[in-house]
Structure 1
């Protein structure tokens, strides 16, 4: 009887512990293939498959087993412990492991080591640990991208001396730049929810061969999380929730997501809500940065009120909602269909730099109100991809997308009863067909085509805040204007030798603008703008490993930006006493770029990286003095204003050096440093020169990182250099209200540093907590060209639960 009972228990035990086990990345929750599993004396072994699954039936229930992978820290456990954790085992990546696969250069997976362009990759692991407030802060946390902020609800990246509409944003391979992306600072990047990002790839330098117009200074490609299929016949369910608090602006952020998966269907739902209060600046820095007073209302009249807490920047707070829905369907092993729906909406938010402008007399503030209406963005993205042996391809992607953008501007001068409002809506349709061909020996070809259509709606109005009387006003853009482009490209990757890869590509783009001007409010000397421009761009470069531990890259490329509707048809106040008017006689601007990169690995303990670049921009689209119907000044919103317009009136030279270092003291402790130096000059047609407006100061960071099984910690220093008055762009010198004053009474941007600490602790495999202290020494500083003062000392708390 005892033998029978023992046999039954033994058989039941084997049944219980013979089920498959899945090995997953601790941070990303993605399966890990090729994990070697063995016992103490290595007499029993197993290996995970492509889906990270393995059967552990050869091991005993309480036998100590080891999980080993070259890229991950060693893991040890027993089958019994694994079962208690839902048949899943997690491994943490080693500190020195680098990402090797990128997609942004060709829209297909390529080895990063084969790419001659400099690319920064911010993966899910980095994002989860950094825990950024917005996607703009995510870019800034990389240490390689400079971010300007005019207000709390913003973030305008600068890369290699270029910004705004000379940089390209894309989400899941879909271009986000639209017909009204402006040359002034842009806030569109904050529409992307950082909690939905799987990884971000930043291309430095022109990316026009793949992305067309606007990709002059670089490309920022955000790839969001995918809906995950079940690996069994049963329904899989997973998800998580996050919370974040920051004391500097009383932030409260809530996020949740969940995934339902079958073998052929998968659904991912995500929602985030942010509530930000007014931002508090630091205690140590220029007194001129303090917010000593602000505009309030007393019995319906504008009054200047003292600020009880001058370090509190009133008003700067806002709220934001982000929603995402992903649906995936795979009918067979060849085809996959993916639908992505994204929606983002902010509340009204103040443009802080406009609210601190002094009036002409210098004894008060110019504006009583200046705020953006809700910034809204919707994208529906349908992608069909095929893997297999087609006649002309091995991979096919068909991507169609519809996007809708809404934004508005609202301003009222101090003591004025009239509030001026302009509202813009853009409908954007796009279609892309991309092919991958690996049939020609060592040559891989990537080729495809693109069509984009934008239609702009623009209205204006004036409202009397006392009587509520509403009248029609001038719009910012020609209402009903369209912008469209048609393009084709081919890009080739040729592995001439195992240690030498050559990349080259060509693209032809054609761009059309059709705008009809309304003369109700302004007597334009033209009726319409009909632009018809074509551009041929190309790139060629190589990646060479003369030694296994030494990489040299060289890349030459051209980029272009065709005038968009913001260049051709905009009318707005650029600064006090100046107004920008339309100019239909514009041509594309072209950039010519060369980049040399060197990377040296010293025994996998020290990795040094450097890149030198030079970019020459011709026919640059810049804002310059202009005549409107022969007049150099016109009345705008009740004020006589000098006339300016966007013109092909300059050349620009931008050059610089970028350095990076990684030092690994062991499996757990490492150091990472970045330093960027950029110089830029704009040259007028008459030969006069001035510093470039979007050339960031010298900036860098230094991190000391500890990564253990449960605790990850990062002590780091951020640094920005000074921009003296002599090196300040001409257009910036008039903005005395956002800069400090030097000994001669001239505005300049001082240098600054912050000391910061962040840590994350895994209480269990499912529950993580994070703690951060930003700007520990409570510095008061403004990043170059920013209107808002950066946060003072801030306590950041976070909780992340995954199931």
Structure 2
């Protein structure tokens, strides 16, 4: 019988030094707690203890440091996860069972993962490969399921309330980062509360100084624009390794209240707020045109995410379910772009406000050797898009073109049935089906941009399934295979966006898009010796049909250029390509060694190609991985690690522009590696000190497709108090 989701924190608290193995429990595959060994799909798990040792500045850094996930960045306040060659709106983000992907998640690079505070998390589960049966649209590359800490009731009657608090102060040198975190939980017999608050302040990021001898000066900031006495002035930078205009601030709040009036009934209120200051877009601020800096301003305005959800969980014996979970939720998301050309008086301010209503119903039933998971999901997105031109001298405001048609809607509905059959103690069959329907509506405003389209209404059905088999072989061997389909319906961003790309082209609307679909095949062989060894090798092959990619695109009158905001651009658009292919291999290993040591390793290699156009597919990361040696004994925990990426030659870049070749060296992205050391020492029962040195050799490198150089040598120190 599967355990309940809120019981996760109580049932699973792994020792950081031991080999986890396949008996680990996960919840993301079928929205219920179950053994990892029973699931044919590859799932990686990042626990609160691992996050604690990492001491990451952001959630993007936490994913990057695992070596399981490739992460792209265009600015310090960024981080776009890539799973199996899929990125942005092709990877589904889920927080506490509520999907974050909304109507304006774009296909390029996203920073929305930063709106989740790593310090508030109990665990992260990374579901690799198509996950449409349980999650519907967008889960082409996989699902990143983020589970925040939950309130816990008092253990037994008469013992008084359960009280626990965690406090953290952290400083890191590369971005002069200052972080303060506190959380507090209070649990009684029927009521419990959990509160988390994290404030972070980043200064401008310093890149590495050493390496790239063949490209001297790569990544250095020699000039920047400053407003002086009402004029834009180009200023020489006296710290070229300090990436000017990358700093920002962030505040994250989580509040949960649990009420359990009796056994078998739980009510959970979940409130989350994430907000930032203005986040400068570093790569744009370092864009040159005709030998001069183009922009005086290019920033994301304050980014806000507000989530409120209620979860009802019922358990019973008999009837048509053993466990029922109902999760209605509302989200209010706001983001903006503030752009002003050098020497110009007008700042273009585009603001998008998205309201998302959703409801998930999940039911679970065990019948002998059969486990049934079934349910439904409804979502409704409404987009309000605002465009204003603001004079920086007079403050006068005038309307300008909006990024999206205002009042656009995006709605989804789906129902699923998943089944697991334990045929024998060594053979498990998994299968599932989901029917989905997605509707997109948008009305175009002809005032600012000439278009033959007045409105678009699209409704697309999809039937998806999976079939997997797990075989427990002798001597600890395990063989699993899976075939799964997935889809992603074009959203408001795909169909109706108007936006200038960094390569000087203009993305224009294309209302004729169709859903992109995948069929994913994977085969994994693993060996487990409990508490001593885990090693697995997995191969995957994904066929894409009607993949959405950016390509040159003529306007309705047949022209390949258009004048927009007073500038002429070559036009491109998101289009469906005929066929594409992604294939690769990934490996994981954990080995327990004598003297309280453990060795971890991970490696991923991916290749992708647009078969119709016969060009490289975008978002395909180079070889990447991580190796780490961990020591844990008594009060000391220490880890030495190597994080590495292979080379991506310029000839292997996609022509779409999404891979940001202009931000790489003339030879493309060079291979790199960093040496890192992290330690934690428990001074007493409540107090702990942590320190680490990342990128010890101060290597100068830039991650593939990124527009900002990675941090140089970074010393961090932290103090924790738990009671």
Question: In 2, Cα distance between the equivalents of 1:491 and 1:710?
Answer: 45
Partners of 2:325 and 2:33 lie apart in 1 by 13
SS of corresponding position for 1:136: helix
Give the equivalent residue in structure 2 for 1:692: 617
1:251-303 superposed Cα distances (whole Å, 9 cap, x missing partner): 00001111111100001111100000000001113422111111123332222
Partner of 1:12: none
Question: What is the CA-CA distance between 1:741 and the residue it aligns to?
Answer: 2.0
**Aligned residue number for residue 16 of structure 1:** none
Q: Within 2, Cα distance between the matches of 1:303 and 1:183?
A: 35
Report which stretch shifted further, 515-524 or 341-350: 515-524
Equivalent pairs, count: 709
* Counterpart secondary structure, 2:262: coil
Q: Deviations over 1:427-470 (max 9, x none)?
A: 0000111100102x201000001110010000101122223221
Measure, in 1, the Cα distance between the counterparts of 2:580 and 2:8: 46
Alignment partner, residue 537 of structure 2: 610
Which whole-Å CA distance do the structure 2 matches of 1:673 and 1:425 have between them?
42
Q: Show the counterpart of 1:300.
A: 230
8 Å Cα contact 1:356-1:737 kept in structure 2 = no
Cα offset, 1:542, TM superposition: 1.0
Partner Cα separation in structure 1 for residue 528 and residue 408 of structure 2: 53
* Candidates 499, 514, 518, aligned match of 2:426: 499
Query: Which residue of structure 1 aligns with residue 342 of structure 2?
Result: 414
- The answer to whether 1:539 aligns with 2:459 is no
Equivalent residue in structure 2 for 1:720, among 645, 657, 667: 645
Cα distance in 1 between the residues matched to 2:364 and 2:117: 30
Equivalent in the alignment of 2:549: 622
Partner of 2:41: 117
Q: How does 1:238-257 map to 2 (within 5 A)?
A: 238-257=164-183
Aligned-pair CA distance for 1:732: 4.1
SS at match of 1:487: strand
TM (normalized to structure 1)? 0.86
CA–CA separation in structure 2 for the residues paired with 1:637 and 1:405: 26
Matched, 1:270 2:191: no
2:99 aligned with 1:146: no
Give the 3 Å change call, closer, same or farther, for CA 603–377 of structure 1 in structure 2: closer
Q: Is the 8 Å Cα contact of residues 577 and 640 (structure 1) preserved in structure 2?
A: no
**What RMSD over aligned residues (CA atoms) do the two structures have, in Å?**
1.7
Partner of residue 303, structure 2: 375
After superposition, the Cα gap between the structure-2 partners of 1:605 and 1:324, relative to the gap in structure 1 and judged at 3 Å, is closer
Are residue 321 (structure 1) and residue 251 (structure 2) matched? yes
Asked if 1 retains the 8 angstrom alpha-carbon contact of 2:618 and 2:659, the reply is: no
Identify unmatched segments of 5+ residues in structure 1: 1-27, 34-70, 73-91, 743-747
Q: Secondary structure at the residue paired with 1:697? A: coil
Give the whole-Å Cα distance in 2 for the aligned partners of 1:702 and 1:634.
50
Q: 1:733 to 1:553 in 2, by over 3 A?
A: closer
Greater RCO structure (CA 8 Å; 6+ sep): 2
Alignment-derived partner of residue 163 in structure 2: 237
Match of 1:196 in 2: 120
1:658 aligned partner: 586
1:30–1:392 Cα change, 3 Å: closer
1:332 alignment partner, one of 262, 271, 293:
262
Contact 1:94 1:667 (8 Å CA) reproduced: no
Partner of residue 369, structure 2: 442
Q: 2:691 aligns with which of 757, 760, 771?
A: 771
Give the match's secondary structure for 1:660. strand
The structural deviation recorded for 1:149 is 0.4
Match for 2:240 among 300, 304, 310? Answer: 310
Question: Helix, strand or coil: the match of 1:354?
Answer: helix
Deviations 1:89-124 (A, max 9, x none): xxx565223461111111011110000000000111
State the distance in 1 between where 2:276 and 2:176 align. 17
- Which runs of no fewer than 5 residues in structure 2 stay unpaired? 1-6
On the 8 A contact 2:430/2:468 being kept in 1, the answer is yes
1:581 correspondence with 2:508: yes
- The answer as to 2:116 corresponding to 1:187 is no
* CA positional deviation for 1:649: 2.5
Q: How does 1:712-791 map to 2 (within 5 A)?
A: 712-732=637-657, 735=660, 737-742=662-667, 748-791=668-711
Q: What is the aligned counterpart of 2:20 among 89, 97, 120?
A: 97
| Equivalent-residue separation in structure 1 for 2:8 and 2:383 (angstroms) | 42
Secondary structure at the counterpart of residue 292 of structure 2: coil
Contact 1:678 1:697 survives alignment (8 Å): yes
Structure label with greater radius of gyration: 1
| Contact 1:774–1:793 under 8 Å retained in 2 | yes
CA contact (8 A) 2:551 2:656 kept: no
Change in CA separation of 1:488 and 1:749 when aligned onto 2, cut-off 3 Å: same
Query: 2:557 matched to 1:634?
Result: no
Q: Give the drift of 1:548.
A: 4.3
User: What is the alpha-carbon distance in structure 2 between the residues aligned to residue 350 and residue 665 of structure 1?
Assistant: 46
User: 1:217-259 deviations in whole A, cap 9, x for unaligned?
Assistant: 0100001000111123422322121111110000000011111
In structure 1, C-alpha distance between the alignment counterparts of 2:19 and 2:547, rounded to whole Å: 42
